[in-house]
């Protein structure tokens, strides 16, 4: 899972055992300060983030990027180059990329 701090221009990355809601939300809770802006896609694991964060969502069926909200292809490639374990085959795309302000 990758998190980008846009203010500090730093990436936090970790390998998670699965992409279940509980796993991904715990990663966010442990790494992102309460009330921070969080930008993600509309994947189910992120659907409860609005209760603790300023959560904005992009629906990839409608658009891939909405302003600066989602990581760009270049940012994603850079993240994958630095952390090869985060790569997944395209058929397994799960929306596990997240842009956030880490705690």
Q: What residues form DSSP beta bridges with 58?
A: 41
β-strands 2-5, 97-100: how paired?
A: parallel
Three-state DSSP at 22 gives helix
Give the model confidence (pLDDT) of 50-93 as tens digits. Answer: 999 999 888 766 765 555 545 556 566 666 676 666 555 544 44
* pTM > 0.85: no
Which of 25, 4, 2, 9 lies closest to 97, judged by CA?
Answer: 2
Give the model confidence (pLDDT) of 6-62 as tens digits. Answer: 888 888 888 899 989 999 999 999 989 999 998 888 888 898 999 999 998 887 667
**51, two tokens:** 């209760």
């Amino acid at each position: 899972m990758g998190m980008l701090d846009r203010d500090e221009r730093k990436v936090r990355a970790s390998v998670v055992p699965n992409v279940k809601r509980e796993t991904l939300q715990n990663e966010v809770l442990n790494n992102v300060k309460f009330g921070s802006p969080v930008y993600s896609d509309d994947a189910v694991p992120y659907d409860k983030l609005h209760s603790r964060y300023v959560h904005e969502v992009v629906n990839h069926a409608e658009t891939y990027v909405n302003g600066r909200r989602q990581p760009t292809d270049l940012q994603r490639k850079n993240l994958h180059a630095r952390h090869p374990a985060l790569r997944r085959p395209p058929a397994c795309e799960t929306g596990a990329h997240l842009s956030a302000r880490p705690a």
